[in-house]
Amino acid sequence: MRIGSISVGLDCMGMSFDYGPAADKADMIELIRAAVEKGINFFDTAEVYGPFTNEGLLGVQLTSYRYS
């Protein structure tokens, strides 16, 4: 068996949907930053989690990594 790449992920559903009220945006942006610094390289999002809410949070934080 050959493994081409390995992803370590973060499930983003709880950031804006399902587990009670949406979490604080600033806290979730900080969580994404900490995840990237610890090597997370896969973020599970879906439109059903609150249309484009999690993608927006990811965009805010990951933009700073765009060219690094």
Cα–Cα distance, 65 to 21 (Å, whole number):
29
**Structure confidence at residue 4 (pLDDT):** 66
**Structure confidence at residue 68 (pLDDT):** 58
Beta bridge partners of 43: 10
What is the per-residue pLDDT across 23-50, written as a single tens digit (0 to 9) for each?
A: 888 998 999 999 999 988 889 888 777 7
To the query of whether residue 49 is one of the catalytic residues in this protein, the response is yes
Whether pLDDT at 56 is above 80: yes
pTM value is 0.76
Whether pLDDT at 67 is above 70: no
Whether pLDDT at 11 is above 70: yes
